[in-house]
Amino acid sequence: MATAHRTDERVRIMHEIINAMRIIKMYTWEKPFTALTEAARKSELGVIMETNYYRAVNMSLFLTSSKVIIFVCLLTYVLTDNVLTAEKVRQVSLDQ
């Protein structure tokens, strides 16, 4: 939602600049408006990067959680003085 808000803000600024292009050129306001659009884009990219970071962490946890759980279960089994055989490991691994 925040990404869409920032994108809408940047698009609105660009729309205003395009509509007022003659005035901007006449008064040589290119640099201030360039700074304005760059700030809007930087803000938008910051939100996009943060969202993608959280998405990557979520995906990596999703993909590795089952393997970590199996490892912890097998480790607990071994640490409680049980004998771990290939058949038991195979059975636990197939049940995921």
Q: For 25-53, what is each residue's pLDDT tens digit?
A: 888 888 998 999 999 999 999 999 999 99
Q: DSSP labels for the chain? A: -HHHHHHHHHHHHHHHHHHTHHHHHHTT-HHHHHHHHHHHHHHHHHHHHHHHHHHHHHHHHHHHHHHHHHHHHHHHHHHTTPPP-HHHHHHHHHT-
Q: What average pLDDT does range 78-93 have in this prediction?
A: 89
The reported pTM is 0.66
Q: How many domains does the chain have?
A: 1
Q: What average pLDDT does range 59-69 have in this prediction?
A: 93
Domain ranges, residue 76: 2-94
